C-alpha cells in the first residue's frame, strides 16, 4: 500500500521597494523662477530595479521641459535624480514626485508611489 506524505510548503511574499528622500534646492522663489526638485533613490534589495520619476505638481507650479527621469538601480546602489520646476502663480505648494518602479529580475511592477518633501516643507511662490 502506498503512503501519501504531505509536505507543508511555506510561501513567502517579498514586497520589493525603494527608499526615497526628496527636497528642493530652495523653498522661496518669485513667480517664474526655477527650483530644482532633488531625490535620492536607493535600492536596498537584491534585485535590480527600473525607476521612473515624474513630477506630480499642483496648479500654480509647472515642470520645466520634459521632467520625467528614468534610472536603473542595481542592488545596494543609490542614484540622485533632479528635475526643474517653476512657480507660475503666487501661493504655497506641496511638491510631490510620482515614482513607478519594477523589479527587473522578478518582472513585477508596482503602483505609483507619491513622495513629498522630507521635512514636509512647502514651496512659497511670491
In this model, does residue 79 exceed pLDDT 80? yes
- Please state, in angstroms and as integers, the Cα–Cα distance from residue 105 to each residue in 50, 75, 93, 108, following that order: 10, 11, 38, 8
pLDDT band at 101 (very low <50, low <70, confident <90, very high): confident
Q: What are phi and psi of 91, to 5 degrees?
A: 155, 180
Q: What is the pLDDT of residue 45?
A: 81
Q: Which 3 state secondary structure label does DSSP give 89?
A: coil
* pTM listed for this prediction: 0.78
Q: What is the pLDDT of residue 1?
A: 54
CATH architecture of 19-119: Sandwich (2.60)
Q: What is the pLDDT of residue 2?
A: 53
Amino acid at each position: 500500500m502506498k503512503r501519501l506524505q504531505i509536505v507543508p510548503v511555506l510561501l513567502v511574499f517579498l514586497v520589493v521597494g525603494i527608499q526615497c528622500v526628496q527636497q528642493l534646492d530652495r523653498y522661496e522663489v518669485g513667480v517664474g523662477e526655477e527650483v530644482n526638485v532633488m531625490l535620492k533613490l536607493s535600492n536596498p534589495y537584491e534585485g535590480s530595479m527600473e525607476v521612473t520619476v515624474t513630477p506630480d505638481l499642483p496648479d500654480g507650479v509647472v515642470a520645466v521641459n520634459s521632467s520625467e527621469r528614468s534610472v536603473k538601480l542595481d542592488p545596494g546602489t543609490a542614484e540622485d535624480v533632479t528635475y526643474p520646476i517653476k512657480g507660475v502663480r503666487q501661493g504655497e505648494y506641496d511638491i510631490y514626485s510620482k515614482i513607478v518602479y519594477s523589479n527587473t529580475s522578478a518582472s513585477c511592477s508596482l503602483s505609483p508611489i507619491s513622495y513629498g518633501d522630507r521635512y514636509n516643507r512647502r514651496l512659497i511662490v511670491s
